[in-house]
Amino acid sequence: MRILITGANGFIGSNLARYLVNRGYTVYALVRPTSDITTLDPVCDKIEILKVTNSFLSIEGAVRKANPDVIVHLAALSVLNHNSFQVEELVKSNILFPTFLVEAMVRNKKFNLINTSTFWECLKRQGEYNPCNLYAATKFSFEQILRYYEDAHNLKTITLKLYGTYGPYDRRHKIFFYLKNSLNSKTPILFSPGRQKLDLVYIDDIVRVYEKAIRYISNKFKDNAETFMIGTGNALELRKIAQIYEECSKGKLNIKWGGLPYRDREIMVCRANIKKAKERLKWQPHFDLRKGIQKLLREESAR
């Protein structure tokens, strides 16, 4: 099966490319000409890298060349708190680029898309649209554009709304980046009060759900659009997450809790409802947080 991945050089995309290649898929990686693609070094001789600009013709040419059975859309510009100069790039990256992508799909008679979105769309409660930032609003805006292509062109879409993701050698400045930096540090790392509850899912479980979605959209898909929440279904306080990381690492975290305020529009309870993913995709996470952290630390120490 031929799979085209946008954002294939990112943390999730590069892990997915490696996973799919090892499972026997033919993988095409869609990246920008200026992208750092060193994350794809382990499989660079087993995949085809297609470099595209933001123009429709460039994107359409890549879709035509890859001739994919399924496209997995992971490319995005994620900005937690944007400034005025980032608005244009947020719109271009998260709305215009993927709209060009689906236009190129229908032009080439390709109708299977797995889209990626975010739990940040629901500030107050799951299932109630209330974006916590402009990034989340742009991601949801593209989902609304998809409704047109689903109805007018019979595009089939699955949207995976990801909760917190983590794993070894994640270059994103997220929770475990800061926890790692605080290990045995002489200077305390400033954190919020740490009472927010997070649902964190290990990268191995994430790549498995994408393959489940690929199989589902190819073989069993009946509706034109389905959305799945992807997490563990469990939420832990940030302080508890730090405690588990400290225990697994056998080090000492140097954290000043309350050294920073909560972020503006912080989501205080993040917990995915994964019932639908279990029932329809036949997926559930294999890693609880402790097992995930243990594997993260093993893999990082092994390299």
Domain residue extents for the chain: 2-166+200-230, 175-198+233-272+287-302
State residue 125's pLDDT score.
Answer: 73
pLDDT tens digit sequence for 206-239: 999 999 999 999 986 667 899 999 999 999 999 9
Element (H, E) at 66: helix 56-66
Q: What span, in angstroms and rounded, lies between the C-alpha atoms of 150 and 217?
A: 14
**The pair of three-digit structure tokens given for residue 104, joined into one six-digit string:** 């190129």
Element (H, E) at 182: helix 175-182
| Number of neighbouring beta carbons within 10 Å of residue 248 | 18
Tell me which amino acid residue 299 is: E
State residue 221's pLDDT score.
Answer: 67
Q: How far lies 51's CA from each of 5, 29, 237, in Å?
A: 12, 8, 41
Q: What span, in angstroms and rounded, lies between the C-alpha atoms of 181 and 85?
A: 30
Place of tokens 């794809």: 40
Tell the burial category of 85 from Cβ atoms under 10 Å away from its Cβ (0-12, 13-18, 19+).
exposed
Cβ(184)–Cβ(192) below 8 Å:
no
State residue 290's pLDDT score.
Answer: 98
**The pair of three-digit structure tokens given for residue 292, joined into one six-digit string:** 């995930």
Residues of the chain with pLDDT under 70: 220-222
Exposure string of 5-16, with b = 16+ CB inside 10 Å and e = fewer, is: bbbbbbbbbbbb
For 37-41, which contacts have Cβ atoms below 8 Å and span 24 or more sequence positions? 37/9, 39/9, 39/10, 39/11, 39/14, 40/8, 40/9, 40/14
State residue 122's pLDDT score.
Answer: 80
| Positions of E strands within 89-231 | 112-118, 156-162, 164-166, 189-191, 197-198, 200-202, 225-230
The arrangement of secondary structure in 175-198+233-272+287-302, i.e. its CATH architecture, is Alpha-Beta Complex (3.90)
Element (H, E) at 31: strand 26-31
Q: How far lies 150's CA from each of 111, 112, 155, in Å?
A: 9, 10, 4
Selected from 3.40.50.720, 3.30.70.260, 2.30.140.10, 1.10.1040.10, the CATH number assigned to the domain covering 2-166+200-230 reads 3.40.50.720
State residue 130's pLDDT score.
Answer: 85
3-state helix, strand, coil in the chain (%, to 5): 45, 20, 35
Cβ(268)–Cβ(196) below 8 Å:
yes
